[in-house]
């Protein structure tokens, strides 16, 4: 085989393997990010964050806004962790 020959058989096998495995990998990542357990942990984290703000003397309205922003940040971090740059 010369340097310019394309290994069609090997390339086909690799693409078939990727077609089979990549969707399973993506599904596993999404399930770990959006699972019931993850949601429960995020809720606990938000509750603890809010309680700490109140204990530190932050007004309730401000603590609520800050906690909402905290949850939005957590929610936005999850998808960015699995994005693939092209």
pLDDT surpasses 50 at 46: yes
Q: What is the pLDDT of residue 86?
A: 44
pLDDT at position 67: 95
- What pLDDT was estimated at residue 57? 95
- Given a cut of 60, whether residue 11 has pLDDT beyond it is yes
* Residues 76, 81: Cα–Cα separation, whole Å: 9
Average pLDDT over residues 17-31: 82
Cut 0.85: pTM above it: no
| pLDDT at 83 (0 to 100) | 53
- For residue 59, give Cα distances in angstroms to 29, 55, 64: 38, 10, 9
């Amino acid at each position: 085989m010369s340097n310019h020959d394309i290994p069609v058989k090997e390339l086909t096998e690799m693409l078939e393997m990727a077609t089979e495995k990549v969707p399973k990998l993506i599904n596993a990542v999404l399930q770990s990010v959006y699972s019931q357990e993850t949601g429960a942990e995020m809720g606990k984290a938000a509750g603890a964050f809010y309680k700490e703000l109140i204990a530190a003397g932050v007004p309730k309205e401000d603590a609520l806004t800050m906690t909402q922003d905290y949850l939005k940040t957590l929610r936005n971090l999850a998808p960015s962790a699995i994005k693939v740059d092209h």
